[in-house]
Amino acid sequence: MEFFVVMGKVWSEYSTLFLHGLGMTLYMGALTVMISTVSGSLMAMMRRSSWGIGTFKPLSAAAAVYVEVIRGTPILLQLYFFYFMLPQWLPFMDLSEFACVMIACCVNSTAYVCEIVRAGIQAVDIGQTEAARSLGLNGRQTMLHIVIPQAVKNILPALCNEFIAIVKETSLASTFFIGELMTQFKTINGITFRVLEPLTIVGIIYFLVTFVLSKLIALLERRMNASER
């Protein structure tokens, strides 16, 4: 009982910090998804040899190497790498700590979005492409007007799930005290010398956010499936 009483006091005194951390977490997640959706789609084009741009084999190979390297290394390692290396590589840009962490998150997410987009396009029946080409459409017109509109239905739920994963992965940014939820936990822990109570509150917030997002994704999937009938 004492645990819940203390947890209530921690929330009442530091709710502003928790809410600020939640806002920063959602902001980082949304920004990462928006940027990585664009860059991941371009990366998927580079990997697809039948799209015109991918016929340049070195470009396609570079995209494949990028995806394998990013997916084959931990995101925490990538965060450290970009956090310490970017200011040395680009000293003239005067990048902030937040910018370095966001670049690392976007670079990581781009590799996964690339595979999501590529898988979504490959899920479209090849007969659709053949039919479009037989009607006189070129490769680009076929992709823009036939394949991509159908692939979007396959891609959207997976992109939403990627957003949920990113929201949880932002907790690793607390290593650099960016201001998201886990950073606020460390701040409150330093003030109150309490660990379990603020940590439980953070866990509840993460659970509520991911639970609501997962339900919204399920609703989106049901509506998309209903529209196909």
Rounded CA-CA distance 8/51 in Å is: 57
What is the pLDDT at residue 54? 42
What is the pLDDT at residue 224? 72
Average pLDDT over every residue of 2-7: 90
The CATH architecture assigned to 2-227 reads Orthogonal Bundle (1.10)
- pLDDT tens by residue, 149-189: 777 777 888 888 888 898 898 899 888 888 899 999 999 99
Average pLDDT over every residue of 126-148: 74
What is the pLDDT at residue 49? 55
Tell me the whole-structure pTM to 2 decimals. 0.85
Cα dihedral 212, 218, 222, 223 in deg (nearest 10): 40
What is the pLDDT at residue 52? 43
Predicted confidence (pLDDT) at residue 1 exceeds the cutoff of 90: no
| Domain extent listing, the chain | 2-227
192-196 long-range Cβ contacts below 8 angstroms, 24+ apart = 192/10, 192/14, 194/6, 194/10, 196/3
- pLDDT tens by residue, 37-74: 899 988 888 876 544 444 567 778 888 899 999 999 99
* Sign of CA pseudo-dihedral 194, 208, 157, 34: negative
What is the pLDDT at residue 53? 42
Closest CA to 35 of 106, 103, 116, 97: 106
